[in-house]
Structure 1
């Protein structure tokens, strides 16, 4: 533990009240140690927040819509490779894995009416280059696809045997990031940059869906809570009420809390996975 950290940061470094893997905590604390986060991030977030709302306004006008997913992902990967810190990159890669595992667990353990199981999510990038194929756009669209293909959800008894066929435990040694001196941006500053790129290079409906997809965290928590017999999971979901559509206001916090939620839920389920396999 870094002795230079404040008393609060030292406290949360050892607090295990919430289910979260130590690897994730360590990465987050190292991201908080980034000096650029404390003096550069406020300026970047202020500037990019204004830019985001301008782009959002222009996209909502009755003008021809355009999008370029390939350019979007190429720009994101370039920034990840050259500007985004190693810790932030690893948190991004972890997020792909945590959410893919959660969605695949939901797929396997949900009652599907027509007995035609949806295709599992295969987004598990381990390097920045992998994100050219396992894209951020796919990350959102796979969530919507799975919910649509699962159809109307039926409560599943918590006494049923849990299935783990598609579960992939996260091994941080698999994440390979080549460190460069130019990689200075912390996680939140990086997201402030990315959200403007997303808004510009997606259609207005694609972007609106992406920023509202966080609210499905509550639906996921309700379903998985019933499956494993633990309704307290719902309290971990910060983003709620998927029927109420929101804009980009407070997007950075909503995104960050979505990331924490997936980490909490992944760790909770991974404990069940270990018990079933032991």
Structure 2
């Protein structure tokens, strides 16, 4: 695969500053350095620049047409296994290595964040972690299970809190043992010449396919799960007493469902918000580990 120029390799021209370099050097928001580089390398790709403006309106038009088509088809008709095999094939053959790496990371990060909340909640809550090691693991209905896990976790957590008359509250020394970098390597991702499609373009194309091959209920639940970013953010902020970081969230107001037409764009924001929350927890764990090492032995 031909390597595109790295924005870090380019000299800074004050008359023509590189916007990607500016975003990479900025440290105002918490995000892992390797993730930020991969994210911006993907965002600055030719695919996103030249294909996304055509893919996005096409994908949104397809969402409308498929919604009309679904009116005349059985409501329970779904092809989840076929969908995930198709997605895994597309990831393997057409998606950029940075995008594939970020997608697989997302399953690990989402699982770690839910486990963090569960371990620090005042009640016992079961979780179902997803830890794919390779693209082929996506075939096991990972995208669908990822959405189900989120809703099931929120329901179990809040039912148990209500049943026991408890609530989430600040934890002075939170358990961060589950927070770690996933054992996934960018260099292990497919990187043939045909792996050219950027993350946002692939998500836009993925969305109407998801809608077509799943039930309306599955698609609606998946798109509206994106607005639970604020819910999960509030849980974490309550445990850590760090509500200031909620300003980074863009998928808000879960009580007001949004149109499915913008699901692709919102899914991208969801991935970025998850990376930022995970990095915030990683930094907190690093400080916690340093304090433990500095503490005198008793």
On whether the aligned pair clears a TM of 0.5, the verdict is yes
* 1:212-270 deviation digits (Å, cap 9, x = unpaired): 00111111111111101111122122111111122212222211111111011001111
Write out aligned runs for 1:36-185 (5 A). 36-60=47-71, 63-112=74-123, 117-133=124-140, 135-152=142-159, 154-173=166-185, 176-185=188-197
* Structure 2 residues not aligned, in runs of 5+: 1-7, 291-298
Q: Secondary structure at the match of 1:107?
A: helix
Q: Give the corresponding residue for 2:4.
A: none
Q: Give the corresponding residue for 1:208.
A: 220
Question: How many angstroms apart in 2 are the aligned matches of 1:122 and 1:15?
Answer: 32
Q: Does 1:199 align with 2:238?
A: no
Instruction: Determine if contact 2:176/2:281 at 8 Å carries over to the other structure.
Output: no
Instruction: Determine if contact 1:124/1:134 at 8 Å carries over to the other structure.
Output: no
* 1:176-229 deviation digits (Å, cap 9, x = unpaired): 313222111111110011101110111101110100001111111111111011
Question: How many angstroms apart in 2 are the aligned matches of 1:50 and 1:160?
Answer: 50
Instruction: Determine if contact 1:67/1:201 at 8 Å carries over to the other structure.
Output: yes
Q: Secondary structure at the match of 1:246?
A: coil
Q: Give the corresponding residue for 1:261.
A: 273
Q: Does 1:22 align with 2:33?
A: yes
Cα deviation, residue 61, structure 1: 5.4
Q: Does 1:33 align with 2:44?
A: yes
Q: Give the corresponding residue for 1:2.
A: 9
Question: How many angstroms apart in 2 are the aligned matches of 1:4 and 1:229?
Answer: 42
Cα 1:261–1:53, aligned 2, differ >3 Å: closer, same or farther? same
- Matched positions, count: 274
Q: Secondary structure at the match of 1:120?
A: coil
Q: Give the corresponding residue for 2:256.
A: 244
TM-score by length of 2: 0.85
Write out aligned runs for 1:227-242 (5 A). 227-242=239-254
Instruction: Determine if contact 1:127/1:175 at 8 Å carries over to the other structure.
Output: no
TM-score by length of 1: 0.91
CA RMSD of aligned residues (A): 2.0
Cα 1:3–1:175, aligned 2, differ >3 Å: closer, same or farther? closer
Cα 1:85–1:74, aligned 2, differ >3 Å: closer, same or farther? same
Question: How many angstroms apart in 1 are the aligned matches of 2:137 and 2:187?
Answer: 11
Cα deviation, residue 63, structure 1: 4.2
* 1:91-114 deviation digits (Å, cap 9, x = unpaired): 1112112211111111111122xx
Deviates more, 1:132-141 or 1:191-200: 132-141
Cα 1:57–1:109, aligned 2, differ >3 Å: closer, same or farther? farther
